[in-house]
Each structure stands twice: as C-alpha cells, then as structure tokens.
Amino acid sequence: MMKCPAPMKATSQGAFQGENPLDFALPLAILQICLVVVVTRGLAYLLRPLRQPRVIAEIIGGILLGPSALGRSSKFLQHVFPPKSMTVLDTLANLGLLFFLFLVGLELDISAIRRTGKKALAIALAGISAPFALGIGTSFAFRATIVKGAPQAPFLVFMGVALSITAFPVLARILAELKLLTTDLGRMAMSAAAVNDVAAWILLALAIALSGSGSPIISLWVLLTAAGFVVAIWLFLRPVLAWMARRSPDGEPVKEVYICATLAIVLAAGFVTDTIGIHALFGAFVVGIVVPKDGPFAGVLIEKVEDLITGLFLPLYFVSSGLKTNVATIRGAKSWGLLVLVIVNACLGKIGGTVITSLIVKIPVREAVTLGFLMNTKGLVELIVLNIGKDRKVLNDESFAIMVLMALFTTFITTPIVMAVYKPARPAVPYKRRTVDSGDADGELRVLACFHTNRNIPTLLNLVESSRGTGRGRLVMYAMHLVELSERSSAISLVHRARRNGRPFFNSGDKQTEQMVVAFDAFQQLSSVRVRPMTAISDLDTIHRDIIDSAAAKRAAIVVMPYHKTLHHDGAFQSLGSEYHAINKRVLREAPCSVAVLVDRGLGGHAQVSAKNVAFSVAVLFFGGPDDREALAYATRMAEHPGVAVTLERFRPSRAHSDEENAADEAAVEAFKSKVGIVKDGSVRFEEREATTREELLQTINSMSMFSVFVVGRMPPTAPLVEKPDELGPVGSYLASPEFKTSASVLVIKRYDPAANPASKRYDPKARPPAATEEDELDEATAGAGASSSVVPVARSPTSNDVV
C-alpha cells in the first residue's frame, strides 16, 4: 500500500538547525512568488519593444517555468515546484484570482453596457455566436482524436466558450498602446468586448454546471440556484453597498470597517458560489459588478486590493496554469494539425463574424478587419476557462496545451496585424499655420492646451481668454486632458470614464468632474473662443506621441504644455517627477508647430475670470531671435484684449547676432508697434533697456515682479540667468526659480523650426491625416463660416513611420 506524503509544515526552524527551508510551505511559497515575479516582469520588459500586453509575458513565463521548459529538469520541479506544494500554490493563486475578478467586476459598468449602441451590440453578438458554433464543430474533431473519453455536452460548451472569448482588459491595453483608445474604433471595440465579457461568464457558468458528475437534474438545480444567488445579490446586497457608498462622501476617508466588510462579503460570496458548484470566482465577480461606481468608494477598494493582488498573487495563477501545460504532449501530425485547426477556426469565427457584421452595419472595410483582429484577443479569462475545464476532467493534457497555445498565438498577432492593417486616411486641408507669427493675422488660430489636473484649468482658460484677439481671426482651443494609463488593471476603467463626446472627465458623480464640466461650458458660452475638449489616455513614456499627433491632426499653431513642477501653498515649486519633465522635452523636440510651456502661479486666482473682468498686465522680455519673435507675436494678440496691458521690454542681446536676424528682430518690433499703435489708452508700452551684464539683467527683471504674466522666448541670445537652466531656457528658468519673488505666471515659447526640429519633418503639409471621427464632424459643423477647413481626429496611425 502506497503511503501518502506528510503534509508540509508552515515554517522551518532555519538552516542552522539542519532544516531545508524548501521543505516548508511558507519559505517555499515566498521563493515561488519571487521567481514568478522576476520571470514575468523580465519577459514583459523584453517584449515591450514588440508592444505586447503584459498578459503575454505572464502566459509565456508560466509555460517556461512548467514542464515545457525549466520543468523538464526533475531537480528543478522537485525543489521549486514539488507536488506537495501544489495545494498551497493553487490556493494562493485562486485567492488572488478571486480578488482580481472582484476588480474586473468593479470596472464593468452595467449601465454603460445597457447604453451600448446597436452597432456594437450586433458586432458583439456575431463575435460570440460565430466562434461558438465553430468551437462546437472543432470539439467533434477533438473528441474523435485526442479527447475520446470526455463528456460530450460540457466539452462542446467549453470549446465554444474558449473560442468566443474576448479579453476585455487585454484589449484595452492594446488599444492604449496603439493610441486608439479614445477613437470611434476603440470605443466600438471596448463596448463590444464588454458585452462579450458578460456573455462569456454566463456561458462559462453554464459549462461548469453541465460539467458536474451528477445527473442533468443536478445541473439544472445548479443553474437555478446560481440565478437565485445573482437575484439575491441584486436585491439585498446592492442596497447595503449603496448605503456604504453614500456614507463615503468625496473629500473624506472611507471608513476602514466598510472596506473590511466589503472584502469579507467578497470571500463569503465566493464560498456560496463554490458551494453551489459554479466556482468561487463567480461570487466575487458578481459582488464587484453591484458595487456602486460613483463616488470614491469603488476607487478606494481598488487602491486597497489591486497592487498586492495583481503584483504578487495573480502571476501565481499563470504559473499554476503553466505547470499544467506541457507542450511536449503535442506530438505527431495529428496533434499539430488540431492546433492549426483550432487557431484557424478561432480566427475565422471571431474575425469573420465581426468583419461581416461590421460591413453590414456600414463600417469601412479596413476598420472592420481591424475590429475583427482586436476582438480576437484572448487573455486571463481564457486561461480560467481552460483551467476549470482541466480541473473538471473535460480537457486532457494534450487538448489543454493546444488551447493555451491558441490563446497565446491569437493575442500575440493582434498588435502587429492591427499596426499593419489600420491605416485610415482621407484628403484634408494642408497643415499650413504652424506658428502664431504666420503672417495670417485674420486666419483661425488653433491652440492645443494640455493639462494634468483640474488645478491647471483656471490659469489655462484665463490665458486663452487673454489671447483670443479681437480681429476676424478667432481662436479655437483644444483642451487635452493628459491621463496616465499605468500597468495597473484599474486603469482600464478610464475607458468608461472618457465620455462619448470626448470630454476629458471622470465619473459623472465626481464633484471635481462637475467643476471641470461647468468651467469649460461656462467659458465657451461667455467667450468668443471655441472649446473642444479631448482626452489622451496613455502611459507617460508615450503620451507625448498623443500630444504631437493630435497637434498635427488638429493643425494646431501652438501647443501649450504645463510645466513639470506645481506650485505649493508655501510658494515653492515641487516636481511632478522625471516622467513629466521628459514629456515636455520630447514635445519641445518633436512637435510639428510652436510650443509654449506654461508655469502656473495662479493667473487670475483659483477661478476663471469672465471676459469683462479681465485685468492682466503682461511683460514681454525681448532679446531677439526666432523664439522671442514668436513670443512677441503671441503677446500682440494679447494686446488686442481690452483688459490686458502689455509692456514690451527690449534688451540688447549680449551675444553677436547676424544682420539677417537683426533685421528680422527690427521688423518684428515695428510690426508690434504698428499693430498696437491704434490703442490710445496707454495699455501698451514699449521700453528699451541697455542692461547687458547678468547683474543688470537680474536687477531689471526683479523690478518687474508686479506683472501678472511674463511672455518670453525659450532660447534668446543671452547668457543664462541661472546655473543649470531646464527646458525653459536661460531666461525662463530664472522666472520660474525661487530666486525670482513674484506671483506672475510665465509663458515660455519655442518657435517651430523644421531645420532644428527634424523629428517633425514627417508631418508633411500635404499629408493625409486619419479619417474624421464623429466628434470631428460635430466640430466642423459647429465651426460655421469662420472655419472653412475640416477638423481631423485625435487618432494616431499606429505605425511610427506613417505620415500623419
């Protein structure tokens, strides 16, 4: 009679006591977690140049640690993943998965799914039914060859579900990476994937119920009891969670007892659904769905749970799955033929069904094909389905390995194929005006103004109001909210929060949101400036591409970037981080138009000043050179405003200047005098300074600290006024330094110069930008007679070599 191995004790007494820590559960689990994290994060780093989502690295990492690669060494398996540790490993992995599914439920907004458009709904239904049918067909080939003893009904449903799944979180990552998240195509894909996700869980519950070893009557009881559980959660638990959410108002910390109670409810719901027989994951997922999404309650829950679960425990699930995946079981022409068959059927069903339906609802061919490949993305939910099938003896080792490789392949090909296929273009008006000083005084000035938080909005609006001008050339402001999409899973919920009309706001129940909505709406109604809000959702390493490509797409003459430091109550600036500094430097280097960096010291206070109450004093420090001439051109527009007083302080440059540059400087100053010469109220002044040494310059500038705004060029021909100037240049860096005692905001402007900015040469004025979205059509319609040209979209063509 074979003796069972003794259960592992939790902790050892240490190596000095002669005990091997790897023979005990806790130290072995710690080693396993650390190894998994190192392997998966390392692979994610290596796959980053291929722009693959992290789930690919986690699946591959799991397979590499399993019997397919490192696990071929019996010593490695016996010491690091011994059979007696599998119970602890699987328990930790499923606990992490339980809470991760709770997070997924928190991010799924049922009310948003109810509002899904008919097109997205039709695409979702076709994207489920066609691959489900082909999955059932494929199952017959499997049962006739390598899975002969599997129960028929559960195997049919498991195969159908496995082929019809679209990984909602993975899809969002891919869309964000390709800069398609806030486009019409991205919204369509996300809406269809959300519907698909809910349908997949319902079908999976059906598959689990059918896979029980009892009679069909028992399976029916399981389904009916599960439906009763969902109804009970909706009727009884939802009001309790809503009560907790109401008692957690904005601006106040959420009570610890509410967090603890909710997490305990998640575990209890998992226990109930496991008792019913449909897996503990369903209980956690349903609780996540019914948690109210408005207010801070859901956000705090995500913050408390997310990093620990997704960083440490969830990767264990991929290893648990990888240890069951043995690629060596796929051998012989028959097995490899089945792998090809299941990949072809998965792609044919999902892509074919999506493309045909998309064409029926009149989506262009390229976008339809792109949508098909996007919807073919697999991920964690696919692994959950396969692992449950394996645990329930529906799938054997060979069929399990084939299905895991299918999920890996279909997800891996999504990004490169979408980059190759999705290149929408249409003829558009040439991108001509790339500077403020273009000589077209009566033309429309387009400003792309970027901001990180709502604290930047009042100064931004006051600046734009001050520079709107009074001539026929009106100002159009594209207000772009820069939102970081981190590696954290909850960043996916930003997709829901980016509203249909493109407004860069979060949940409608958020007080800050309402303030932002009111600020933009009121500004547009009370000012002659036309405002078009936009959102860029991307990681900080690549968000500059969103800004640059949006500037080209909107044909902006100038991009206004927020300074990478924010003002604190004590008057000192504190850096937001090196990533934000890098964003500004990349935009300055690669932008297809002029760029301004706004140092915000609270222009006009903490609220937007109405047009009739504007009373700002502006100082232009003019040394010469192209950047200073661009700054002077911007200040000329400001001088036209009746509430703005502009003083031009001209300094003789301390560095030698070419005759051509001197002539251009003189012409710019004379143009300023002639344009503002009609102002007789003394609001425009011109002063010439002889300050040449650094000390004289500092003394002169310090005497001007009472102004509201300083407008300067980024690289004037003068010596630096600080030791280590940053991206603001020799003069701007001093104006933003603590040595300069002032409450004035600073606008540092760099003129567009294609010769000094080679990265922007890809923005050919004759280029064809991406096809217009619904928002752009609305923008074009509201432009009226004042804007003769069409407005093209924010969307960026995914390939870096494409002309935008």
Q: What is the pLDDT of residues 118-172, one digit of tens each?
A: 888 899 999 999 999 999 999 999 988 888 877 888 888 889 999 998 887 788 7
CA distance 751 to 737: 23
Neighbours of 576 (CB within 10 A): 17
Q: What integer pLDDT is reported at residue 641 of this predicted model?
A: 81
CA distance 662 to 669: 11
Q: Residue 426: phi, psi to the nearest 5? A: -155, 155
Closest CA to 461 of 606, 588, 572: 606
HSE-CB at 361 with a 13 A cutoff on CA atoms is 18
Where would I find the beta strands (DSSP E) of 526-629?
530-538, 558-562, 565-567, 573-575, 594-599, 616-622
Inter-residue contact 435 to 751 (CB < 8 Å): yes
> Computed over its alpha carbons, how large is the radius of gyration of the chain?
31
Q: What is the pTM of this model?
A: 0.75
Low-confidence residues of the chain: pLDDT under 50: 1-2, 426-427, 489, 491, 496, 498-511, 513, 762-804
Closest CA to 475 of 611, 378, 608: 611
Sign of CA dihedral 402, 405, 406, 407: positive
Q: What integer pLDDT is reported at residue 574 of this predicted model?
A: 85
For residue 356, the Cα-to-chain-centroid distance in whole angstroms is: 29
Sign of CA dihedral 180, 378, 277, 99: negative
pLDDT, one tens digit per residue, over 538-567 is: 888 889 988 998 898 888 999 999 999 888
Q: Which two tokens stand for residue 35?
A: 């190894």
| C-alpha to C-alpha distances, 176 to 42, 65, 486, 708, 721, nearest whole angstrom | 21, 29, 10, 39, 41
CA distance 698 to 21: 67
Q: What integer pLDDT is reported at residue 752 of this predicted model?
A: 92
Q: What integer pLDDT is reported at residue 562 of this predicted model?
A: 93
Inter-residue contact 326 to 405 (CB < 8 Å): no
Q: What integer pLDDT is reported at residue 216 of this predicted model?
A: 79
Q: What integer pLDDT is reported at residue 507 of this predicted model?
A: 36
Residues in contact with 218: Cβ distance below 8 Å, sequence separation at least 6, in sequence order: 212
CA distance 43 to 38: 9
Inter-residue contact 747 to 731 (CB < 8 Å): no
